[in-house]
Amino acid sequence: MSEQQTAGAIPSDIGANMGFGGEDGHVDGLDDLIACPSCDLVYRVPDVASHERAICARCHTVLISPRRKAGKQLIALALTVLILIVAACAFPFLSIGAAGLHHDASILQTALTFSGNLSLLSLAVLFFIVVIPAIRLSLLIYVLAPIIRDKPPAPLAREAFAVSEALVPWSMAEIFAIGCAVALVKLSDMADVVYGPAAWIFAILVVLVVATDRLMCRYSIWKSLET
C-alpha cells in the first residue's frame, strides 16, 4: 500500500519572518512551493519517494504522487485511448429495433444526422467527447515522449501541457457514458436496444481515461519540463 504524507503548510503571512524573502516581504524560493489545486493552500514541497503520496492537509487532494516508469505507462494508455476513440467512431454504438424495423448508429453518424440547431448541439457533443479528449492525449504524448527518453523537452512543451490541463474540464467522455446509460435504460421500455461494439469500446475508453488521470503526477511532469 502506498504511503501518504501531509505537506507542511505555509501560513498566509509568508514572508521575511519565515526566511523566504527579504525585508520587503517578497517571497523567494518559489520553486520550493506548491499550491493545492483544490483549496489553494500553499505548501513547502516535501521529499516524496516513488509510490508515496503528498496530500493536502485541508482537502486531502493528492499533490504529488511520483511513480517509476509512469511516463511510459501514460504514453501507452494515451495511445490506447486514441486508438479506441477512432474505433468508437467507426463502429455502431447501438442498434434500435421497433415494429420490425432496426437501425444501427455510430457516434459519428449520429453527430452528422441532425440539422438546424440540433446539428450544432450534436457537433458540440462530438467535440466534447471525441475531439477534445483526442487533442488532450495527443498533447500529453508530445510532452512526455522526449522526457521518457531522457532528452530535452520538446519545443513549447510547457505550453502544450498547460493547454492539455486546461482541456481537462472540457473532456466529457465519462459524462457522456453516464448520460447514455440513463437514456438507454429508459429507451429499452419502448424499443429493443442492442449495444454495439462502439458502446463497449467507449466503456473501456472511459475507464482508461480515468486511469490515465489517476496515474499522472502533474507536479513531476512540470518539474521535468524545467530542465
Question: What's residue 29's pLDDT?
Answer: 59
Our measurement of the distance from residue 140's CA atom to the centroid of its chain's CA atoms, rounded to an integer in Å, reads 10
Q: Does residue 96 carry a pLDDT above 60?
A: yes
CA angle (226, 224, 166) in 5-degree steps: 85
Least confident among 80-94, 99-113, 192-206: 99-113
pLDDT band at 43 (very low <50, low <70, confident <90, very high): confident
pLDDT band at 134 (very low <50, low <70, confident <90, very high): very high
Burial class (CB in 10 A: 0-12, 13-18, 19+), 29: exposed
Percent of the chain scored above 70 by pLDDT? Answer: 77
Cell of 96: 434500435
Q: Does residue 2 carry a pLDDT above 50?
A: no
Residue of 62, 54, 66, 43 lying closest to 221 (CA atoms): 66
Residue of 89, 93, 179 lying closest to 134 (CA atoms): 89
* Predicted TM-score (pTM) of this structure: 0.74
d(CA 212, CA 138): 13
pLDDT single digits (tens) 185-211: 767 677 677 778 888 888 898 889 888
Question: What's residue 101's pLDDT?
Answer: 65
DSSP per position, 156-189: THHHHHHHHHHTGGG--HHHHHHHHHHHHHHHTT
In contact, 53 and 5? CB cutoff 8 Å:
yes
Question: What's residue 52's pLDDT?
Answer: 78
